Structure 1
Amino acid sequence: GLPIEVPAMTVNRFCSSGLQTLATGAAQIQAGWSDIVLTGGVESMSMVPMGGQKPSPNPYLADEFPQAYESMGITSENVSTRYGISREAQDAFAAESQNRAVAAIAEGRFKDEIIPIEVHLNGSTLIFDTDEGPRPSTPEGLAKLRPAFKVDGASTAGNSSQTSDGAAIELLMSKEKAAELGFEPLAELVTFQVAGVHPDEMGIGPTKAIPKAFAKAGLSVDDIGLVELNEAFASQALYCVDQLGFDPAIVNVNGGAIALGHPLGCTGAKLTATLLHEMKRRDVEYGIVSMCIGGGMGAAAIFKRV
């Protein structure tokens, strides 16, 4: 672990917390306040207390802006109905995510970005080094699942992100410090942007954040070789890919959150790790990490290989 003299802080931007820490750490280095920063995130979704049907909203917000308390599943259904994303398309997208992740694991594509963990359980010692979520899937199999949030809805347990635990971390340095210590950087952070959208369709957030990032970086869709877009729900991921004009072949090439999970605080850091390793593997110059954020936002970061 880190020595006690190393300070720390907790950052919360829900689904983008892990990416926000990276942006905050990079800004601290750019300001000259730090030379080395560890950033990342952790989330144990399996340990989140389930309160059942006992909400306790802020009374003022509940009266004046009830959309703030719209459940994430219903926001997915809103995207489906408002923008014509069919159940069939969502199941096909989910099956592709699963099958890409299964193939990536079989081919060892995650090995370089995973640190094996020794786990002691019931007197046995296990080496935990492989994601548990991915499973071979077909659209036909997923079509048998019932809607999860609405009787006649399109979002199911099979085309939504999983309940997962996870942690990821990045080591950030100034260019000068990296050279001094003999580190070879994977990439540089070009820009990080966040945009607000209506809470009841929070899933469209990347369609607002990514154009902001393009404008700040002087880039366009044509400059991007790889995209890691968080799959909170197949509905919103499909909408974002279509609206932004990305080639589906470069989006989540090793599967996404439908297969691998979406541990909120970890996701931004995990997607960054996956993106940077794949950029190196394919010799891609520019890549994007982006996600929607519960409550009504989208975040996006552009990276450049160095």
Structure 2
Amino acid sequence: MREAVIVESVRTSMIRKNGYFSKLRPDEIVSVALKEIIKRTSIPAELVDDIIMGCPSKLSEPAVEFVRLALLNSSFPNSVPSTTVERQCGSSQQAIHFAAQAIISGDMDIIIAAGVEASTSPTTKCNKEGFNTNLPREHTLRHQERAAELIADIWGLSRVQLDEYAIESHEKAIRAIKQKRFEREIVPVKVELPAGEAKIIQKDEGPRNNITSKELKQIKPTINENTKIHGGNSSFLSDGSAAILIMSNTKAKELGLKPRFRIVNRTVVGSDPNIIFTGLIIATNKALAKVGLKINDIDVFEISEVYASVPLIWLQETGADPNKLNLNGGAIALGHPLSANGARLLTTLIHELERKGGRYGLLGIGEGYGMANVTIIEKLDR
């Protein structure tokens, strides 16, 4: 049976907005990951049928120009095409889904799915203008922090619970860095500092050591003094990129490459845009049902934690084991690279499953305006 398999997956470090990557163009950031994919697998770049990439959310230039420049910057031949996908912070996860679908259908054999975020780029006119005021009355759209606050209220989550979750995210990420869990997945990026000297970046800069509940308690809430969501229990914008090499199982065998995972399921749903994040619960249940798995069959979960309330309500509703969730920290500690989010999370999921020796992994992202993507992968040659 024709299957979509994952051969390689890499990412850059996740760097805070206005940090080390702020002087790099998005095509420069992602070209590092694209080059590394070819280097690690030694496949001829001309064999790649397409490159599908999550588009930077704040790109001020035409998306088609950016992705083409990324390829040319990565020494891909002119014959390799490319395109972009925009589905909020699930953009690069959707790129992975489109790649797998093209391969399973037989249209293509080798695709690189990728994503990049450059949060320091100027915002577009669309991002500045906010919500369309002509929407039907029932759609009282909220900015995401207000939706995160609302679901915390509906599910009865206290600020203490949200803060405790945030502390755990940092602790997990610090432990992962100390144990060098990220070393194989992160490709180094050379940057030039203001003084002119070069620096190699190969470490996520977000996680904070020894963060305490007392520190978080002192942070003012985002909305008003009576609310729970604040900068300490929310993710922060970050820059970075990731790339996944996906191909058919038959092509991998023909090229003598060993597939590491197969993509078992690709699910996307729409949900209530007023509270945004419940789609993640719906998509998880739908994905598991489609492939005949139970929540306890999954060995590792990577669930986007743009706000602490999101994974906490997901845990409540799905019954997932919290000890399997975001084992190396999440976006609260490592940063939220928007359009690179899905590819980054899948890269970390792949390497963590290999480290643990687990079989199934589930990636889930709740997206703006009430959407969600879920991907299930299975480790091969266990």
What is the TM-score with the length of structure 1 in the denominator?
Answer: 0.95
Q: Partner residue of 2:25?
A: none
Question: Cα distance 1:163–1:56, how it changes in 2: closer, same or farther (>3 A)?
Answer: closer
Match of 1:150 among 192, 205, 224: 224
**1:260-275 counterparts in 2 under 5 A?**
260-275=334-349
Determine if contact 1:74/1:150 at 8 Å carries over to the other structure.
no
Cα distance in 1 for residues equivalent to 2:281 and 2:128:
33
Cα distance in 2 for residues equivalent to 1:47 and 1:66:
30
Q: Partner residue of 2:205?
A: 132
Cα distance in 1 for residues equivalent to 2:263 and 2:248:
11
Match of 2:167 among 92, 95, 99: 95
The CA deviation string for residues 112-145 of structure 1, in whole angstroms up to 9 with x for no partner, is 1111011123311110111111112222221211
Determine if contact 1:16/1:291 at 8 Å carries over to the other structure.
yes
Question: Cα distance 1:102–1:55, how it changes in 2: closer, same or farther (>3 A)?
Answer: same
Cα distance in 2 for residues equivalent to 1:64 and 1:87:
31
**1:208-287 counterparts in 2 under 5 A?**
208-287=282-361
2:167 equivalent to 1:105: no
2:380 equivalent to 1:302: no
Question: Cα distance 1:57–1:162, how it changes in 2: closer, same or farther (>3 A)?
Answer: closer
**1:189-200 counterparts in 2 under 5 A?**
189-200=263-274
Q: Partner residue of 2:18?
A: none
Question: Cα distance 1:145–1:240, how it changes in 2: closer, same or farther (>3 A)?
Answer: same
Structure 1: runs of 5 or more not aligned: none
Question: 1:65, CA displacement in angstroms?
Answer: 4.8
Question: 1:54, CA displacement in angstroms?
Answer: 6.8
Determine if contact 1:39/1:169 at 8 Å carries over to the other structure.
yes
The CA deviation string for residues 33-56 of structure 1, in whole angstroms up to 9 with x for no partner, is 1110000111112335399x9745
Q: Pairwise CA RMSD of aligned residues?
A: 1.7
Q: Partner residue of 2:149?
A: 77
The CA deviation string for residues 19-38 of structure 1, in whole angstroms up to 9 with x for no partner, is 10001001001111111000
- Count of matched residue positions in the alignment of Structure 1 and Structure 2: 303
The CA deviation string for residues 151-181 of structure 1, in whole angstroms up to 9 with x for no partner, is 3110010000111111111000111111121
What is the TM-score with the length of structure 2 in the denominator?
Answer: 0.76
Determine if contact 1:78/1:200 at 8 Å carries over to the other structure.
no
Cα distance in 2 for residues equivalent to 1:79 and 1:100:
24
Q: Partner residue of 2:54?
A: none
- Tell me whether 41-50 or 206-215 shows the greater mean CA deviation: 41-50
- Tell me whether 113-122 or 247-256 shows the greater mean CA deviation: 113-122
Question: Cα distance 1:48–1:67, how it changes in 2: closer, same or farther (>3 A)?
Answer: farther
Cα distance in 2 for residues equivalent to 1:288 and 1:263:
19
Match of 2:237 among 163, 168, 181: 163
Question: 1:217, CA displacement in angstroms?
Answer: 0.8
Determine if contact 2:139/2:273 at 8 Å carries over to the other structure.
no
Cα distance in 1 for residues equivalent to 2:298 and 2:116:
28
Amino acid at match of 1:130: K
Cα distance in 2 for residues equivalent to 1:50 and 1:60:
21
Which has the larger share of helix?
Answer: 1
